[in-house]
Homo-oligomer: A and B are copies of this chain.
Amino acid sequence: MDTTVIQQDIAQADAVNALAEALGPKGLLRDHGDCDRYASDQSGLLGDRPVAVLRPASTEDVSRALAICSQYRIGVVPQGGRTGLSGGACSPQGAVVLSTERMSGVVEIDREAMTLTALAGTPLEAVQDAARAAGLDYPVDIGARGSATIGGTIATNAGGIRVLQHGMTRANVLGLEAVLADGSVVSRLGKTVKDNSGFDLKQLFIGSEGTLGVVTKAVLQLRRHVPQSALALFALPNHAAALACLAAARQRFGTRIRAFEGMWPDYWDFVCHETSLATAPIAGRHGFYLLIEVEAEAAETNEELEMFFAELFEQGLVEDGVLAKSLAEMQALWSVREAVGEVDDDFGHHVNFDIGVSPSDLGAFCDAADAVLATLPDALGVLKVGHVGDGNVHLLVAHNGSSAAEDQVEAAIYGLLREWQGAVTAEHGVGRIKSRWLGHCRSPEELALMRGLKAQMDPLGILNPSALFMPEDI
């Protein structure tokens, strides 16, 4: 052990002592067993044991903690519910974790402004429930709603199945409070979408994965709650037909389309036939499957969907379809789409891509991906499922489990993506597992500006030091 390492250890111990004093007995964990529980998220990447886990109870605590971390130049990994899929909440060596778990609660609901103010550590589902109890709706929804926190969904700009209707998390945040690396608090908790008084600073913290500041509080835009909806599953000849259906659905239902989810036959066959993860609600083989959910403003919406189907059928755009007649049938239809969360065991080693391209290019991109994967001996199969209207496909590619095969598959798909000018991640975030591919979709000028902003706002590089950027970048 050389002198530098010893000095680092001493500095680390001093930092932890200072943090413990600032945050109080409930505010810091340093027991190894406790710390291990905060090392990783749900990406599959294993984080290192954090030096300590900070559990601030207030914005002031976060401010004090970050000021101390700056002073000792110790890395801080902000954590919400650790449900991320990109390793953005995994701890690197020598860092502390800052968990917002003690900063939980809905502070206020303003029915007239249709806003909800919540602390960063509030679970997404608690926000949704509080909104509904007030007769309103917070429309951001993801599978991890029970554990994911509002702060985490903001830091990662969470997407989900209702993006088509209400946008990403970014579109649903009106006000934000965040703490900068030096501990200064940047707070703007306004309740209006209309504010051109200087730079819209909240945009910097939304989706930057904790690399520019720690989100502590937010004012969210609520929407009208429409409890009823109609749901149908259509079988189509191909993805091109799905795009035509989307255009027709937009003309007919406008912003009432709540979800427009697509499944390629590889995915459908895997979950319905090759495994028993789901039961096929439609028989026979088809080229594409669509799950369409429409807000039911009127009792006639089921009939509207039936008429819509009849029209599309006449045009040859759909080959078969089934309409949910009960809540149980709705769940059955959704279960085919949601089975993607359960394929891991059966599908074996695989890369889970979260590709974004222009919605108009999605079908062609997937065809090209199929073609390039067919040339790779170590690519053992592909499942494709995604959000047709958003140009977002989750492409699961099985391989033999070697890191060489994983590299080969990633290089092939991200290489293709570069040609299509897409996004290496549409909704899951860059985190740690996609940072090396970021240059495949962002230009040197963009990356330079990103690095410049990071250097300006976090000059010591303490905020989520292993996320988003490559280590050599900062």
Interface, chain A (partner B; CB < 8 A): 110-115, 156-157, 159, 163, 167-168, 170-171, 180, 184-201, 203-204, 206-208, 212, 224, 226, 243, 246-247, 250-251, 254-256, 295, 297, 356-360, 387, 390-392, 421-430, 434, 438, 441-443, 445-450, 452-453, 455-457, 468
In the docked arrangement, what's the CA distance between A429 and B171, Å? 20
- Do residues A186 and B438 form an inter-chain contact, with CB atoms below 8 A? no
- Do residues B197 and A168 form an inter-chain contact, with CB atoms below 8 A? no
- Do residues A358 and B190 form an inter-chain contact, with CB atoms below 8 A? yes
Residue in B closest to A244 when the chains form the complex, CB atoms = B112
In the docked arrangement, what's the CA distance between A427 and B200, Å? 12
Known: A360-B112, A438-B197. A254 touches B297 (CB 8 A): yes
Can you identify 10 A-B contacts, CB atoms within 8 angstroms? Answer: A112-B247, A192-B358, A192-B392, A194-B391, A195-B356, A197-B423, A197-B442, A203-B203, A254-B295, A456-B456
Q: Hey, which chain B residues are within 8 Å of A197, CB to CB?
A: 356, 423-425, 430, 434, 438, 441-442
Known: A186-B449, A359-B191, A456-B452. A224 touches B199 (CB 8 A): no
- Do residues A180 and B449 form an inter-chain contact, with CB atoms below 8 A? yes
A152 → B minimal CB distance (Å): 13
In the docked arrangement, what's the CA distance between A148 and B437, Å? 39
Known: A356-B190, A360-B110. A196 touches B201 (CB 8 A): no
- Do residues B168 and A171 form an inter-chain contact, with CB atoms below 8 A? no
- Do residues A360 and B445 form an inter-chain contact, with CB atoms below 8 A? no
- Do residues A429 and B250 form an inter-chain contact, with CB atoms below 8 A? no
- The number of times this chain is found in the oligomer is 2
Q: Hey, which chain B residues are within 8 Å of A204, CB to CB?
A: 199, 203
Residue in B closest to A197 when the chains form the complex, CB atoms = B423
In the docked arrangement, what's the CA distance between A193 and B390, Å? 7
In the docked arrangement, what's the CA distance between A206 and B199, Å? 9
Q: Hey, which chain B residues are within 8 Å of A450, CB to CB?
A: 198-199, 201
A110 → B minimal CB distance (Å): 5
- Do residues A163 and B356 form an inter-chain contact, with CB atoms below 8 A? no
- Do residues B357 and A192 form an inter-chain contact, with CB atoms below 8 A? yes
- Do residues B425 and A199 form an inter-chain contact, with CB atoms below 8 A? no
Known: A167-B171, A442-B197. A391 touches B192 (CB 8 A): yes
Known: A187-B443, A224-B254, A449-B457. A157 touches B110 (CB 8 A): no
Q: Hey, which chain B residues are within 8 Å of A195, CB to CB?
A: 356, 423, 425-426
Residue in B closest to A246 when the chains form the complex, CB atoms = B112
In the docked arrangement, what's the CA distance between A359 and B200, Å? 19
Known: A192-B390, A254-B224. A184 touches B356 (CB 8 A): no
- Do residues B184 and A360 form an inter-chain contact, with CB atoms below 8 A? no
- Do residues A196 and B360 form an inter-chain contact, with CB atoms below 8 A? no
Known: A110-B360, A192-B358. A198 touches B254 (CB 8 A): no
Known: A194-B392, A201-B449, A449-B186. A360 touches B113 (CB 8 A): yes
- Do residues A426 and B194 form an inter-chain contact, with CB atoms below 8 A? yes
- Do residues B168 and A193 form an inter-chain contact, with CB atoms below 8 A? yes
Q: Hey, which chain B residues are within 8 Å of A203, CB to CB?
A: 200, 203-204
In the docked arrangement, what's the CA distance between A238 and B449, Å? 50
- Do residues B226 and A192 form an inter-chain contact, with CB atoms below 8 A? no
In the docked arrangement, what's the CA distance between A247 and B188, Å? 25
A136 → B minimal CB distance (Å): 9
In the docked arrangement, what's the CA distance between A422 and B113, Å? 14
In the docked arrangement, what's the CA distance between A422 and B200, Å? 14
Q: Which of these, B196, B427, B456, contacts A423 with CB under 8 Å?
A: B196
Q: Which of these, B360, B427, B446, contacts A198 with CB under 8 Å?
A: B446
- Do residues B449 and A194 form an inter-chain contact, with CB atoms below 8 A? no
In the docked arrangement, what's the CA distance between A256 and B392, Å? 27
- Do residues A167 and B193 form an inter-chain contact, with CB atoms below 8 A? yes
Nearest 4 Cβ contacts at the A-B interface: A203-B203, A112-B360, A191-B358, A192-B391
In the docked arrangement, what's the CA distance between A159 and B193, Å? 10
- Do residues B192 and A423 form an inter-chain contact, with CB atoms below 8 A? yes
Q: Hey, which chain B residues are within 8 Å of A206, CB to CB?
A: 200
In the docked arrangement, what's the CA distance between A256 and B167, Å? 17
User: Which residue, of A195, A254, A438, has the highest number of chain B Cβ atoms within 10 A?
Assistant: A195
In the docked arrangement, what's the CA distance between A206 and B452, Å? 18
Known: A254-B224, A425-B196, A446-B201. A110 touches B167 (CB 8 A): no
Residue in B closest to A360 when the chains form the complex, CB atoms = B112
- Do residues B423 and A113 form an inter-chain contact, with CB atoms below 8 A? no
